[in-house]
């Protein structure tokens, strides 16, 4: 009979903790899910009320990951505090019952809560993010319709912003959307360079695991070109392929644990570091091509660009290389345009600029010539224009092969010709992105382990503090559970911020672990004190 008493007490404590845990976790989850905190955190705003109800089911893992540890801690503090206030532990000690065994329910609750939290933040929540993106990708027409109702319209890449009266899908499904009664703006940096209207805009979509890409064609286009100061009409105009803005862009915090470990070993496969390397490769190639064109002029007084089919030969009285942006400025210029070796047109211009255009990759770059105060002579007679743009022309194949063949290490060590180092900032940005990716992944992994592990020690601490302070009142129990949780959360948040920086990375990792170690030491001290009492 004496051996049955501890198990009877444990079942009683299990039952009391379970009721408190269930009610508190349910209340906190509902408040967090419906109160807007999670919705604001992941920036949902492109959904209808019906869609929102479906999305709430996907948001529950986020809310539960945050509320279960708090609910477990609160239930331990409240239950053990009430038992202490009723002198139940005094009666147990007087009956010769080992006090150690009475902490088994809180230990079991902490293990279950820590395991569930670990699984949620490392697997379920990243899966929820993918479901949200699949939900968005499965209803592109609705997403486009909501975007078009916003004052800024829908942005397609960095150059086009489109507005439309309505949209429709074809009979085959969601892979193509047509915009009717469209207006558009074409942007170069912060400058509006062209704006006009289009009868229709056909958008075609391609999907992969992490993004939706959109390309389009505008038909029946009328526009005003601000740079050339003229109106024009064209039958069709293409919109370059670009990533469609999604509700949840891929971020490190939304990766599963196996993915985090993979990208930590291979940081260049992460899209941010990969993009930084791609930009460095593109800028290095553009600089090398520009330097080669400048050497041509210095050696022979002319610049030859083009391919076997079409070539442009430029001669000038004077020239200068603007190394910072890689452009060449020519004065008193003559440009001969040849097709298959025969001169077709001659351009005489007061000045001209030669630049290597930017692209998402070096293979997408080209050579563009802009001539000013131009006199064009050809088979159709003589034409005078204030400005004429030639190209972009394809970059020579040998340059593309050379630049694309560089490894990441060779890119980071490659030097630019000329005075100074015009690629210094881009190189530093690439190195910072690669190192920053590894640091952020390490910080995220440690954060998740620290947060999950803290549940183990916090629940035990809550139970011990409940006994010490005899927290029968619910407010006292909440205060007891809140203070150690706040300590751990502050240490994790501060440590993660420090771990993102190169100079304080190790300090940040240690700070995240230190909060967990400190609570474990508090556990040892309080449990020892409880047992002495």
> What's the pLDDT score for residue 419?
55
The total of structural domains in the chain comes to 3
* Cβ neighbour number for residue 204 with a 10 Å cutoff: 14
Strand segments (E) across 323-380: 327-339, 342-356, 366-378
What's the sign of the alpha-carbon dihedral 51, 57, 62, 67? positive
Are 165 and 152 within 8 A, CB to CB?
Answer: no
Q: Is residue 47 domain-resident?
A: yes
Residues in a beta bridge with 186:
160, 194
> What's the pLDDT score for residue 1?
42
Q: Which of 378, 398, 422 is the last residue of a domain?
A: 422
Q: Which of 422, 457, 472 is the last residue of a domain?
A: 422
- Tell whether 230 and 182 lie within a shared domain: yes
Element (DSSP H or E) covering residue 191 = strand 191-207
Tokens representing 58? 């996907």
* Strand pairing report for 310-322 and 302-306: antiparallel
Residue length of the chain: 533
> What's the pLDDT score for residue 509?
95
Q: Is residue 229 domain-resident?
A: yes
Tokens representing 385? 């224009």
- Tell whether 202 and 280 lie within a shared domain: no
- Tell whether 69 and 196 lie within a shared domain: no
Residues whose CB falls within 8 Å of the CB of residue 368, separated by 6 or more in sequence, listed in order: 354, 355, 356, 357, 389, 390, 391, 392, 393
- Tell whether 229 and 191 lie within a shared domain: yes
Alpha-carbon distance of 155 to 243, in angstroms, equals 10
Q: Is residue 362 domain-resident?
A: yes
* Strand pairing report for 230-243 and 212-225: antiparallel
Q: Is residue 268 domain-resident?
A: no
Tokens representing 147? 């975007």
- Tell whether 133 and 153 lie within a shared domain: no
Q: Is residue 19 domain-resident?
A: yes
Q: What is the pLDDT along the chain (533 residues), one digit of tens a residue?
A: 444 567 788 888 888 888 888 888 888 877 776 655 444 444 444 455 555 666 666 667 777 777 888 888 888 888 888 888 888 777 877 777 777 788 888 888 889 889 988 998 898 888 776 666 665 555 666 667 666 666 667 777 667 788 888 877 764 545 678 888 888 888 876 678 888 898 888 887 776 655 667 778 888 888 888 877 778 888 888 877 776 655 556 788 888 999 999 999 999 899 889 889 998 999 899 999 998 999 999 999 999 998 777 899 999 999 999 877 788 999 999 999 998 778 888 999 999 999 998 877 888 889 999 999 999 998 778 889 888 888 788 888 888 899 989 888 888 887 765 556 778 888 888 999 999 999 999 999 999 999 999 888 888 888 888 887 775 565 666 676 677 788 888 899 999 999 999 899 999 999 999 988 988 888 888 877 766 65
> What's the pLDDT score for residue 349?
95
* 316-336 exposure pattern, b = at least 16 Cβ within 10 A, e = fewer: beebebebeebbbbbeebbbb
Residues whose CB falls within 8 Å of the CB of residue 267, separated by 6 or more in sequence, listed in order: 273, 434, 437, 438, 441
Tokens representing 383? 């034409």
Gyration radius from the chain CA atoms: 33
| 15-521-525-115 Cα dihedral, nearest 10 degrees | 10
- Tell whether 87 and 200 lie within a shared domain: no
> Cα separations (Å) of 157 from 183, 189, 222?
16, 12, 21
Q: Is residue 489 domain-resident?
A: yes
CATH of the domain at 395: 2.60.450
- Tell whether 167 and 298 lie within a shared domain: no
Alpha-carbon distance of 47 to 182, in angstroms, equals 23
- Tell whether 105 and 144 lie within a shared domain: no
Alpha-carbon distance of 463 to 80, in angstroms, equals 5
Are 69 and 121 within 8 A, CB to CB?
Answer: no
Q: Which of 201, 198, 190 is nearest to 223 (CA)?
A: 198
Tokens representing 127? 């899966």
Q: Is residue 264 domain-resident?
A: no
Q: Is residue 427 domain-resident?
A: no
- Tell whether 388 and 502 lie within a shared domain: no
Q: Which of 422, 446, 462 is the last residue of a domain?
A: 422
- Tell whether 217 and 310 lie within a shared domain: no
Residue 392: what are its φ and ψ, rounded to 5°? -70, 140
> What's the pLDDT score for residue 315?
93
* 492-509 exposure pattern, b = at least 16 Cβ within 10 A, e = fewer: beebbebbeeeeebeebb
Are 276 and 265 within 8 A, CB to CB?
Answer: no
- Tell whether 444 and 386 lie within a shared domain: no
Range of the structural domain that residue 108 is part of: 4-137+435-532
- Tell whether 34 and 65 lie within a shared domain: yes
């Amino acid at each position: 009979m004496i051996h049955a008493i501890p198990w009877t007490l444990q079942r009683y404590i299990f039952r009391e903790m379970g009721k408190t845990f269930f009610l508190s976790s349910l209340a906190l989850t509902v408040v967090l899910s419906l109160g807007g905190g999670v919705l604001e955190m992941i920036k949902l705003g492109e959904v209808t009320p019906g869609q929102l109800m479906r999305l709430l089911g996907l948001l529950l893992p986020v809310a539960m990951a945050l509320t279960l540890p708090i609910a477990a801690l609160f239930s331990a503090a409240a239950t053990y505090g009430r038992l202490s206030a009723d002198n139940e532990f005094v009666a147990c000690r007087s009956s010769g019952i080992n006090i150690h065994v009475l902490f088994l329910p809180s230990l079991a609750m902490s293990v279950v809560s820590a395991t569930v939290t670990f699984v949620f933040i490392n697997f379920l929540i990243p899966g929820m993010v993918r479901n949200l993106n699949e939900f968005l990708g499965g209803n592109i027409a609705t997403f486009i319709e909501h975007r078009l109702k916003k004052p800024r319209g829908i942005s397609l890449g960095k150059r086009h912003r489109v507005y439309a009266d309505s949209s429709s899908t074809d009979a085959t499904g969601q892979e193509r959307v047509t915009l009717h009664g469209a207006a558009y703006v074409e942007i170069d940096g912060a400058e509006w360079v062209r704006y006009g209207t289009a009868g229709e805009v056909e958008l075609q979509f391609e999907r992969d695991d992490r993004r939706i890409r959109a390309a389009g064609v505008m038909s029946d286009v009328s526009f005003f070109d601000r740079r050339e100061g003229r109106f024009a009409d064209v039958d069709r105009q293409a919109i370059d392929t670009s990533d469609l803005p999604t509700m949840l862009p891929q971020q490190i915090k939304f990766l599963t644990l196996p993915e985090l470990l993979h990208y930590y070993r291979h940081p260049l496969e992460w899209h941010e570091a990969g993009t930084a390397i791609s930009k460095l490769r593109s800028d290095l190639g553009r600089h090398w091509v520009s330097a080669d064109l400048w050497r041509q002029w210095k050696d022979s007084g002319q610049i030859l660009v083009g391919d076997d089919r079409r070539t442009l030969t430029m001669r000038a009285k004077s020239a200068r290389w603007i190394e910072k942006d890689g452009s060449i400025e020519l004065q008193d210029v003559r440009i001969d345009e040849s097709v298959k070796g025969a001169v077709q047109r001659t351009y005489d211009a007061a000045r001209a600029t030669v630049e290597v255009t930017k692209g998402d990759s070096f293979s997408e770059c080209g050579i563009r010539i802009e001539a000013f105060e131009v006199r064009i002579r050809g088979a159709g007679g003589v034409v005078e224009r204030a400005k004429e743009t030639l190209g972009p022309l394809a970059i020579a194949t040998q340059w593309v092969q050379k630049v694309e063949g560089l490894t990441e290490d060779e890119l980071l060590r490659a030097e630019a010709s000329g005075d100074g180092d015009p690629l210094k900032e881009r190189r530093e940005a690439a190195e910072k992105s690669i190192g920053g990716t590894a640091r952020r992944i390490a910080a995220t992994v440690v954060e998740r382990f620290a947060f999950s592990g803290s549940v183990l020690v916090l629940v035990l601490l809550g139970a011990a503090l409940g006994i010490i302070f005899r927290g029968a009142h619910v407010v006292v129990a909440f205060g007891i559970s809140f203070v150690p949780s706040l300590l751990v959360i502050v240490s994790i948040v501060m440590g993660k911020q420090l771990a993102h920086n190169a100079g304080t990375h190790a300090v940040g990792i240690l700070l995240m672990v230190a909060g967990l170690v400190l609570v474990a030491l508090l556990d040892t001290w309080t449990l020892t004190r409880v047992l002495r009492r």
